[in-house]
């Protein structure tokens, strides 16, 4: 999703910071400008913001203790560079993950819910299931796992598509070279690549004569796909 820092709201900007403070996140969760002074906060939001702060401090102290027990002092120096307090900077992914059970559909801005969900996946990949469980129980663990699996599935599909493009490109080259061996110059263009038009005509005629549907074999579509396949042969690994 495209984001303009200059045009985004103060809460939207917060979701792009590498570090944030508990008090900033607590206000954002209540849909309040995180940059307001204490005396500027809406009176009807003071109580819930205070409760959010208390909760986030306790959860993050617990996360800190777990990581410390696992001997991850180097990581802790990055995640929690100062003692945990409402105005202390904390690494964004760990703090966004820690607020999972505070998310409310009709209160929390949608983009903030999305950011917290993304943070769960990042934290899960780095620090494992036990830490995510402390952030939001089994539901948080399930969401984190599903998001990670979805991304792996998308990556695998992209790899499969790249492989398919290369196979098609190689087949097109070999078919054009085989046809040009008979002496016809129409199969290979001046640049030494297969000519797409005669290949399209050849395969279209074959499909028609064998009762094969030509859906997706339109000239424009065929050109685009075969050109992409030929170009893929020279993509860097």
Give the pLDDT confidence of 51-77 residue by residue, as tens digits.
999 999 999 999 999 999 999 999 999
188 bridge partner residues: 194
**Domain limits for position 117:** 10-147
Into how many domains does the chain fold? Answer: 2
Helices (H) and strands (E) in the chain, counts: 9, 2
- Same structural domain, 185 and 68: no
Instruction: In whole angstroms, give the CA distance from residue 35 to residue 129.
Output: 33
Residue 75 lies in a domain: yes
Give the pLDDT confidence of 149-179 residue by residue, as tens digits.
755 544 455 566 667 777 787 887 888 788 7
Q: 89-91 and 19-21: which strand pairing?
A: antiparallel
Q: Which of 113, 104, 91 has the alpha carbon at shortest distance from 48?
A: 104
Q: Which of 117, 112, 90 has the alpha carbon at shortest distance from 12?
A: 112
- Same structural domain, 22 and 139: yes
Q: Which of 20, 220, 237 has the alpha carbon at shortest distance from 119?
A: 20
Whole-model pTM?
Answer: 0.63
């Amino acid at each position: 999703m495209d984001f303009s820092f200059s045009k985004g709201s103060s809460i939207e900007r917060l979701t792009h910071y590498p570090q944030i403070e508990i008090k900033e996140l607590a206000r954002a969760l209540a849909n309040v400008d995180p940059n307001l002074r204490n005396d500027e906060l809406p009176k009807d939001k003071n109580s819930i913001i205070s409760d959010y702060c208390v909760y986030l401090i306790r959860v993050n102290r617990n996360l800190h203790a777990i990581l410390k027990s696992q001997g991850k002092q180097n990581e802790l120096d990055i995640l929690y560079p100062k003692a945990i307090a409402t105005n202390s900077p904390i690494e964004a992914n760990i703090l966004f993950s820690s607020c999972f059970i505070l998310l409310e559909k009709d209160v929390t801005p949608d983009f903030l819910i999305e950011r917290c969900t993304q943070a769960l996946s990042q934290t899960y990949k780095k620090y494992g299931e036990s830490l995510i469980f402390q952030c939001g129980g089994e539901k948080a663990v399930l969401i984190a796992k599903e998001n990670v699996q979805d991304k792996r599935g998308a990556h695998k599909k992209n790899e499969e598509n790249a492989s398919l493009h290369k196979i098609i490109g190689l087949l097109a080259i070999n078919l054009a070279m085989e046809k040009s061996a008979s002496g016809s110059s129409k199969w290979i263009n001046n640049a030494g690549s297969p000519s797409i038009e005669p290949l399209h005509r050849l395969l279209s005629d074959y499909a028609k004569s064998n009762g094969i549907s030509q859906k997706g074999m339109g000239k424009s579509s065929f050109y685009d796909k075969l050109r992409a396949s030929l170009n893929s042969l020279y993509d860097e690994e």
